[in-house]
Amino acid sequence: MTDSGLPTSEHLEHLDTDTIADLIENLLPAPEAHRAREHVKACPDCQQTFDALVQLSEDLAEEGRNDIPMPADVAEHLDAVIVSESVLRSSTVGVHSLVQIREEPRRHLPKLLGAAAAVVVIAAIGVGVVFATKDDAPGGAAGINPTNVPTGVPTLTTKDVGPQAQRWLESSSNPLLHGSAAEIACARTFASSRPNPQLRLVQPAKVNGQRATVIGLQGESARDVQLFVVTGCNESGGVADPFYDTTVTLRNR
């Protein structure tokens, strides 16, 4: 067990569901996110929970679907997770499985993956489970709706960089390379010195009050993108000087 409370892959203790959900939503600090990501890779049970929550997030994000069937094996695994982690403890005291929720459909399902504005109704259909979502805001499931990439220079804090870049990248299947030709060329030069130089994002921004460039490079997997916030690229002949980095995991890849 680490000082932060995250189990290590060496001990193969399971991460709790809230930690895995925060990892998917990029809400963990960078060091804890790295440890959690490495643990998930080494732990089949946590990887199964991760995959199930990613699939749930993708299903909630789809517009125009009223009925989304969930495979029986996924429902059974989520039942086990709910029992072991008591994720329904806050608003469904005494509820211990999806079966019980299906029998008491008026009980509230607590927030999963930040979708606090979605009403999630669970019903049994055959051997599967159906999630029906109702959006409280236009444009899709709240909290996971893609955001248009800005054409100007957005103002961010380092805390905002990961979640915001994740939304930008999830809104397009193509690399998002913005800024002047010199800024993009500076980003390419920076990328060439990294293990994986494939550019996924170049976005001018004002981060913590200073003009910067957010550079995204392909990570170890198709879902992962390494993000670097650098200064210097917006200057003529500038050299990238990184002062913040993190990794995000895309939910629609």
Q: Does residue 200 contact residue 225 with C-beta atoms inside 8 Å? A: yes
Q: Does residue 56 contact residue 147 with C-beta atoms inside 8 Å? A: no
CA gap 96, 56 in Å, rounded: 19
Please give the torsion angle defined by the CA atoms of residues 138, 144, 146 and 151, in that order, rounded to the nearest 10 degrees.
100
Taking each helix axis as running N to C, give the angle between helix 30-42 and helix 17-24, from 0 to 180 degrees, rounded to the nearest 10: 110
Min mean pLDDT across 29-33, 143-147, 193-197, 232-236 is at 143-147
Radius of gyration of the chain (CA): 20
Asked if the model's pLDDT at residue 16 lies above 80, the reply is yes
Min mean pLDDT across 17-26, 215-224, 227-236 is at 17-26
pTM: 0.47
Q: Does residue 242 contact residue 229 with C-beta atoms inside 8 Å? A: yes
Residue 188 has a pLDDT of 95
Read off the pLDDT band of 113 (50, 70, 90): very low
Note the pLDDT tens digit of each residue in 45-94. Answer: 888 888 888 888 777 766 545 555 667 777 777 776 666 655 445 444 55
